[in-house]
């Protein structure tokens, strides 16, 4: 019986090639989209789960409120890890990471600087599951000057030789490291990515007792089944016991007095598996994902699949007239409704399985492009994922039953007498109403995605064009200029002589992309109770003019003033935070050093607010002090021949450091890279929105075809009676346009609400204006009209003699 069902299903598929093609293509696109997004979501949800102790590891983060400003940081103080291990028996292990950047590493004549380095505690590899291929995980980092590297890094420096016992030299530190361990690599679905792990024994302040500086990422291993909230509830006691005395020493007030002023300092615990999608704090080890995008793309996958299933249901029920007599004859010949239902479900499953095969092919072809857009390395690997093949089959069966169930029950319910005595069966009002409702659902989803895509692109455009408070165009950033040693200043003066160079500054504090970072706790005048956490930039005399920043009061640092070593320039937000408004010049701020000593700075200028962090965050208080930190040179150029200028600078560089690589970047690109996640999301959303609309239009095209076929005689009569082609096209199109209009009314408020929620993640954002909503609605109408009009015009141009004779 099953063989017979499949034979009949195959014959019907071949007999209705257009109907079958539309259904197979629509379902294949829906399944391919669903599969692609599922691979993306599985990757996002798998972050850090490769660790054997993933469910027991938590990261401890710092939270504070100071003078109304909120602090949320991933890096914390040096002694926290050991304190927790000693004072709280539920802490089984505590380990730390301290980032070390990507300095140039030399082995013999080979020098590379594209490696990410970190210092870690000796028990790091007992906490995180990064098995050593060579070396002992327990002892590899016990001694100073030791390091564990990845296989890729080992091949780069040593080829196929065994790297254990060999040395690497970090020139800028003048420090050799002996390799004592080798790992494969850090998995891509990890919240940190390093190529070289060095012993924490080499870090001078790793055992510092200071609770006032933070640069360590700290992780704890808790007992299996232990609720981290229990430990978190005990952490205020630790703050009072250890941080309290240092607050007293630095600011002359107890913790209770500190809190009475509205301030607070605390620690919170973050499950390891929550970091990638749920952490929204500063100083992360790598850019995080966003659980909002997991929900958005998950919804798109479901919507796409739903639209494809709706197409199938609509086309099957609309094409009922072609199968009506077949059903009637089968019933007269004794077929039961149950067997007819099975027959139609088999047809649905056959179409779905064909679509599934096509969908897998589409995924294989689309994965390279999707990986490039999403910044992933996803693969559809049936060998590594044994559940994938049965999972796909189950998905095909579920989609086939979901899409085919209503048409199967609908077609098998026809009454033999009704369908055999009528010349043309058109179905009942319920089926027509259902089809209309499903079309509304399809276009509602499409309009929501169109509005969403428009808002995302407008927000990205706003970010790109917003006045930032500094100039990012034609600004070059030269990295690792410490390699010039004592000749850095000579090199700087040399390139200043080029007429294409406007100005040059030496500072690693950059308003876009990776930058030095230095927290600075200060209070205004002598008011220690008004403690404010600021960011400190060490800059030289040329920093402000090189970056095109504007002063709103006072002056820039100047060589004419010997007292500027104890002067500061504040941003406008810092002035407001101190409550000084227009009276900041000449006032003082005080900083408490780690040794308890205090240093006072006098305000010499106020710089207009500029964005030195992502536009997701509001501008925070900033303090600029006079000082030069070697290693980065910022160059403001004015030329159309940028490649010529770069070649000239590289030539000068080679005179002073012939063996060192000439590394540069553009400030505008560093800025754009900050919003790569949003840019990728916008592109992916646009592609999937386009696919959703295309699949919806496939269904609409099929429905228009069937509608035109059912009304062939009516069109012929109208043409004989004098109806114009325009009036017939309008008649056939208006019913569909009414459905699109209803979809616009339903979708617009939902899209407005959803995108407003998305925009809340930005401190600086656009308003969703009426024209965005109208544009999406107008596009939906135009797309629907173009889709329907082809069949409408074809039907209207048909010779009435042929259409009436065929009836």
Average pLDDT over residues 137-145: 91
Instruction: Quote the pLDDT of residue 425.
Output: 47
- What's the rounded mean pLDDT across residues 488-498? 85
Alpha-carbon torsion angle 780, 781, 787, 788, nearest 10: 140
For residue 228, which of 186, 268, 198 has the smallest C-alpha distance? Answer: 268
Average of per-residue pLDDT across 426-450: 71
Q: Taking the CA atoms of 419, 424, 429 and 431 in sequence, report the sign of the dihedral they define.
A: positive
Q: Output the pLDDT for position 332.
A: 60
Q: How far apart are CA 723 and CA 711, in angstroms?
A: 14
Q: How much is the pLDDT for 126?
A: 93
For residue 776, the model assigns a pLDDT of 85
Is a pLDDT exceeding 50 seen at residue 196?
Answer: yes
| Strand partners of residue 150 | 183
pLDDT band at 406 (very low <50, low <70, confident <90, very high): low
> Does residue 4 have a pLDDT over 90?
no
> In this predicted structure, what is the pLDDT of residue 14?
64
Report the pLDDT averaged over residues 91-117: 83
Q: Which has more pLDDT, 31 or 280?
A: 31
User: In this predicted model, which residue has the larger pLDDT, 542 or 436?
Assistant: 542
Lowest mean pLDDT among 439-443, 709-713, 765-769, 771-775: 709-713
Confidence category of residue 319, pLDDT binned at 50, 70, 90: low
Q: pLDDT, tens digit, for every residue of 240-278?
A: 999 888 877 777 778 888 787 777 889 999 999 999 888
Residue whose structure tokens are 């030496």 = 506
SS (H, E, C) 137-176: CCCCCCCCCEEEEEHHHHHHHHCCCCCCCCEEEEHHHCEE
Give the pLDDT confidence of 755-805 residue by residue, as tens digits.
888 888 777 788 888 888 888 888 888 888 877 777 677 666 666 666 556
* pLDDT in the model for residue 113: 72
Residue 149 has pLDDT above 90, yes or no: yes
Predicted confidence at residue 234, as pLDDT, reads 92
Q: According to the model, what pLDDT value does residue 123 have? A: 94
Do 47 and 187 meet the contact criterion of CB atoms below 8 Å apart?
no
The CA distance from 344 to 324, in Å, is 13
Query: Which has the higher per-residue pLDDT, 32 or 388?
Result: 32
User: Where is average pLDDT lowest: 97-111, 222-236, 322-336, 442-456?
Assistant: 322-336
Average pLDDT over residues 471-482: 84
Residue 199's pLDDT is 94
Q: Look at residue 129 and tell me whether its pLDDT is greater than 90.
A: yes
pLDDT-based confidence at residue 233 (cuts at 50, 70, 90): very high
Residue-by-residue DSSP string for 415-461: -HHHHHHSSS----HHHHHHHHHHHHHHHHHHHHHHHHHHHHHHHHH
Give the closest residue to 594 by CA, choosing from 308, 204, 260.
204
Q: Which segment of 280-289, 301-310, 404-413, 455-464 scores lowest on mean pLDDT? A: 404-413
Q: Report the pLDDT value the prediction gives residue 122, as an integer from 0 to 100.
A: 93
Which of 148-152, 194-198, 418-422 is the least confident region? Answer: 418-422
Smallest Cα–Cα separation from 22: which of 685, 704, 686, 688? 704
Residue 157 vs residue 322, higher pLDDT: 157
- Report pLDDT for 90: 93
Tell me if 246 sits within 8 A of 212, measured CB to CB: yes
Over the stretch 730-743, which tens digit does the pLDDT of each residue have?
777 777 788 888 98
In Å, the largest CA–CA distance within the chain is 108
What is the rounded average pLDDT of the residues 618-646? Answer: 85
Measure the CA–CA gap between 59 and 76, rounded to whole angstroms.
10
- What pLDDT is recorded for position 238? 93
Q: In terms of C-beta distances under 8 Å and separation of at least 24 residues, what long-range contacts does 37-40 make, across chains too? A: 37/297, 37/298, 37/300, 37/301, 37/688, 38/301, 39/378, 39/380, 40/297, 40/370, 40/374, 40/376, 40/378
The whole-angstrom separation of Cα 45 and Cα 277 is 8
More confident residue, 712 or 354: 354
Q: What is the pLDDT of residue 2?
A: 59
User: Burial of 731 by CB count in 10 Å (0-12 exposed, 13-18 middle, 19+ buried)?
Assistant: middle
Least confident of 217-226, 505-514, 556-565: 505-514
Mean of pLDDT values over 148-155: 92
Taking alpha carbons only, the member of 109, 76, 108, 110 closest to residue 94 is: 76
pLDDT value at residue 222:
95
Report the percent of the chain where pLDDT is more than 90.
19
Distance CA 92, CA 88 (A): 9
> 473 pLDDT band (50/70/90 cuts)?
confident
Handedness of CA 22, 28, 29, 34 (dihedral sign): positive
- Give the mean pLDDT of 102-122: 82
Average pLDDT taken over every residue of the chain: 81
**Of 383 and 535, more confident:** 535
Reply yes or no on whether the pLDDT at 515 is more than 60: yes
Global pTM value: 0.77
């Amino acid at each position: 019986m099953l063989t017979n069902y499949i034979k009949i299903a195959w014959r019907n598929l071949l007999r209705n090639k257009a109907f079958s093609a539309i259904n197979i293509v629509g379902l294949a696109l829906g399944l391919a989209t669903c599969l692609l997004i599922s691979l993306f979501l599985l990757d996002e949800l798998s972050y850090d789960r490769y660790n054997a102790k993933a469910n027991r590891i938590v990261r401890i983060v710092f939270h504070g409120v100071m003078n109304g400003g909120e602090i949320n940081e991933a890096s914390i103080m040096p002694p926290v890890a050991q304190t927790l291990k000693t004072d709280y028996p539920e802490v089984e292990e505590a380990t730390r990471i301290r980032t070390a950047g990507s300095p140039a590493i030399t082995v013999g004549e080979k020098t590379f600087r594209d490696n990410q380095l970190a210092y870690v505690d000796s028990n790091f590899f007992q906490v995180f599951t990064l098995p050593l291929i060579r070396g002992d995980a327990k002892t590899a980092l016990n001694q100073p000057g030791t390091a564990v590297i990845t296989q890729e890094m080992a091949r780069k420096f040593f080829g196929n030789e065994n790297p254990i016992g060999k040395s690497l030299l970090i020139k800028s530190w003048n420090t050799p490291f002996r390799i004592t361990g080798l790992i494969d690599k850090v998995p891509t679905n990890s919240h940190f990515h390093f190529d070289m792990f060095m012993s924490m024994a080499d870090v001078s302040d790793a055992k510092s007792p200071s609770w006032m500086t933070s640069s360590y990422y700290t992780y704890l291993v808790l007992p299996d089944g232990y609720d981290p909230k229990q430990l978190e509830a005990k952490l205020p006691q630790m703050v009072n016991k250890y941080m309290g005395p240092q607050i007293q020493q630095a600011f002359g007030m107890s913790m209770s007095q500190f809190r009475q002023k509205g301030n607070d300092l605390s620690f919170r615990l973050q499950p390891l598996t929550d970091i990638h999608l749920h952490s929204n704090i500063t100083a992360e080890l790598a850019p995080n994902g966003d659980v909002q995008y997991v929900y958005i793309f998950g919804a798109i996958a479901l919507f796409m699949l739903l639209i494809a299933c709706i197409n199938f249901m609509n086309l099957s029920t609309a094409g009922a007239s072609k199968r009506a007599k077949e059903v009637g004859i089968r019933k007269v010949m004794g077929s039961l409704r149950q067997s007819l239902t099975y027959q139609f479900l088999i047809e649905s499953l056959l179409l779905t399985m064909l679509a599934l095969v096509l969908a897998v092919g589409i995924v294989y072809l689309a994965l390279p492009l999707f990986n490039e857009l999403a910044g992933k390395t996803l693969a559809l690997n049936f060998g590594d994922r044994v559940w994938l093949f049965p999972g796909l089959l189950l998905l095909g069966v579920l989609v086939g039953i979901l899409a085919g169930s209503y048409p199967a029950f609908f077609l098998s319910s026809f009454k033999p007498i009704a369908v055999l005595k009528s010349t043309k069966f058109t179905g009942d009002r319920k089926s027509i109403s259902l089809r209309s409702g499903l079309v509304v659902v399809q276009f509602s989803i499409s309009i929501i995605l169109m509005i969403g895509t428009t808002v995302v692109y407008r927000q990205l455009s706003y970010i790109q064009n917003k006045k930032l408070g500094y100039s990012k165009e034609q600004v070059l950033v030269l990295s690792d200029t410490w390699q010039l040693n004592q000749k850095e200043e000579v090199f700087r003066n040399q390139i200043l002589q080029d007429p294409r160079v406007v100005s040059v500054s030496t500072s690693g504090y950059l308003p876009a992309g990776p930058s030095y970072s230095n927290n600075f706790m200060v209070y205004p005048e002598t008011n220690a109770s008004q403690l404010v956490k600021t960011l400190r930039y060490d800059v030289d005399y040329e920093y402000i003019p090189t970056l095109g920043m504007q002063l709103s009061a006072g002056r820039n640092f100047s060589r004419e003033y010997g007292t500027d070593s104890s002067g500061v320039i504040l941003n406008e937000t810092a002035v407001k935070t101190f409550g000084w408004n227009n009276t900041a010049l000449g006032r003082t701020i005080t900083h408490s050093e780690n040794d308890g000593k205090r240093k006072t700075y006098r305000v010499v200028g106020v710089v207009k607010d500029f964005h030195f962090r992502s536009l997701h965050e509001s501008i925070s208080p900033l303090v600029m002090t006079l000082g030069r930190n070697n290693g980065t040179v910022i160059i403001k150029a004015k030329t159309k021949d940028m490649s010529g200028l770069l070649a000239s600078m590289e030539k000068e560089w080679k005179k002073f450091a012939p063996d060192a690589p000439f590394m540069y970047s553009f400030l505008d690109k560093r800025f754009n890279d900050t919003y790569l996640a949003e840019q990728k999301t916008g592109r992916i959303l646009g592609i999937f929105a386009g696919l959703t609309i295309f699949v919806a239009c496939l269904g609409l095209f099929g429905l228009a075809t069937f509608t035109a076929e059912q009304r062939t005689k009516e069109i012929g009569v109208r043409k004989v009676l004098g109806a114009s082609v325009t009036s017939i096209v309008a008649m056939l199109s208006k019913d569909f346009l009414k459905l699109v209009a209803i979809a616009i009314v339903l979708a617009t408020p939902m899209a407005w609400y959803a995108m407003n929620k998305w925009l809340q993640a930005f401190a600086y954002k656009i308003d969703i204006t009426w024209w965005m909503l109208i544009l999406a609605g107008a596009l939906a109408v135009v797309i629907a009209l173009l889709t329907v009009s082809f069949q409408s015009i074809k039907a209207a141009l048909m010779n009435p003699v042929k259409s009436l004779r065929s009836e």
